[in-house]
Amino acid sequence: MRLIGPFTQILPLTGLPLKGPLKDEQLEIIEHGGIWVEEGKDPVIGDYRQLAQQHPAAEKEFIDEPAVLLPGFIDCHTHICFAGSRSMDYAMRIAGKSYLDIARAGGGIWDSVTKTRAADDTELTEHTVARANRHLKQGVTTIEVKSGYGLDLENELKMLRAIRTASLYTKATLIPACLAAHIRPKDFDGDEKAYLHWVLTELLPVIREEQLADRIDIFIEDTAFSPAAAKQFLQQVKDFRITVHADQFSSGGSAVAVEMNALSADHLEASTETDIRRLAASGTVAVALPGASLGLGVAYAPARKLLDAGACLAIASDWNPGSAPMGDLLLQAAVMSAAERLSSAEVFAALTSRAAKALGMAMPQQDWQAYPCKDYREILYQQGSMKPFMVWKKEKRI
């Protein structure tokens, strides 16, 4: 038995509604709190003095400075398994070049595909572990990780196997997702329907056999896959948990996500009023990716409108080599919250319980992070520059 604390404040972030707007007054704040942990039992959060009186024999993990404790963050959309850099793309983009200009110069997603295909299993594993550990140090304890830079049988499997191996070398929880339907690869001889048929008949059977992923994603966009082709594809993968890259540059993807009962529709920068109402009326989580907006210099997803309409909003980093190379989840969420007028409660829920819903899981009760301050409002006020100085994974401080 252990008693951890005292913390100046603990915000359990449990019991908050999973849909719609939230006010900070809805936050449960435990002053001078502690956590009592016993192997095989759920942790108990409460007043530190009372817990100490109830468990006088408990081993003390004493916190002797001001600290605000939150649950570990959940990043429900990342691409951290990749090789190479796309700094050339970024330099061209901020110099005013278009997407087509960059693609013609050898950039874009295909550049990452080429570099990831050239990397071996060990290199991809090491990159994934390093990025996961950086996230973990910043309080992100659960991370979804997509494939999608392989786009052929050998390399999609290589990526998913690297993600599985990486999970053995990081204390973060890694949740793999198959994004073979990222784009139709340049070296595939056939149209989008033929490529998606290949994914269904050649790739997914191996993924099922090796149990490499139970999540599947597809990018619905003019430069990727059409809504019609995507719908036909998703109708045939109902044994997987579905998520969709939707409405990034044009509307149409979120409608498919809702119709197919996807766990989440991610991006949504181009969502219309109709899309917003449809998402709000559904069980599909709307996932905003502010890192992509910052990287591409485009508008944020309409987070305020989504919440006010009654949607479930999560926020994820989209950490990837092209549009969102920063990978700093808290910074991105804090900056977007100022632009979209999101309350602290809405942001913290979007990074914890609502992000867990986007992954089809319960929010882990044994992952925590502590910030060096006396008031939880300091965390977003510092716009991501304040980082946690203590992180616990499965009740163990790392």
Domain map (residue ranges) of the chain: 2-71+365-397, 73-358
* Residue 101 confidence (pLDDT): 85
- Burial (CB count within 10 angstroms: exposed 0-12, middle 13-18, buried 19+), residue 338: exposed
Query: What is the CATH code of the structural domain delimited by 2-71+365-397?
Result: 2.30.40.10
In the chain, which residue ranges form alpha helices assigned H by DSSP?
48-54, 87-94, 99-104, 109-118, 121-137, 153-166, 192-198, 204-210, 227-234, 253-259, 273-280, 290-296, 303-309, 329-340, 344-350, 353-358, 377-381
* Residue 283 confidence (pLDDT): 98
* Residue 47 confidence (pLDDT): 97
Handedness of CA 392, 123, 267, 292 (dihedral sign): positive
Identify whether the C-beta of residue 362 lies closer than 8 Å to the C-beta of residue 370.
no
Say if 2-71+365-397 and 73-358 have the same CATH topology.
no
For residues 263 and 175, give the distance between their C-alpha atoms in angstroms, rounded to a whole number.
Answer: 14
Identify whether the C-beta of residue 316 lies closer than 8 Å to the C-beta of residue 324.
no
Q: What is the pLDDT along the chain (398 residues), one digit of tens a residue?
A: 999 999 999 999 999 999 999 999 999 999 999 999 998 899 999 999 999 999 999 999 999 999 999 999 999 999 999 999 999 999 999 999 987 688 788 889 999 999 999 999 999 999 999 999 999 999 999 999 999 999 999 999 999 999 999 999 999 999 999 999 999 999 999 999 999 999 999 999 999 999 999 999 999 999 899 999 999 999 999 999 999 999 999 999 999 999 999 999 999 999 999 999 999 999 999 999 999 999 999 999 999 999 999 999 999 999 999 999 999 999 999 999 999 999 999 999 999 999 999 999 999 999 999 999 999 999 999 999 999 999 999 999 99
* Residue 104 confidence (pLDDT): 81
Cα-to-chain-centroid distance, residue 67: 25
Q: Which residue has the tokens 């993968």?
A: 237
Identify whether the C-beta of residue 319 lies closer than 8 Å to the C-beta of residue 79.
yes
- Burial (CB count within 10 angstroms: exposed 0-12, middle 13-18, buried 19+), residue 254: buried
For residues 233 and 176, give the distance between their C-alpha atoms in angstroms, rounded to a whole number.
Answer: 19
Query: What is the CATH code of the structural domain delimited by 73-358?
Result: 3.20.20.140
* Residue 294 confidence (pLDDT): 97
Gap between the terminal Cα atoms of the chain: 18
For residues 255 and 272, give the distance between their C-alpha atoms in angstroms, rounded to a whole number.
Answer: 11
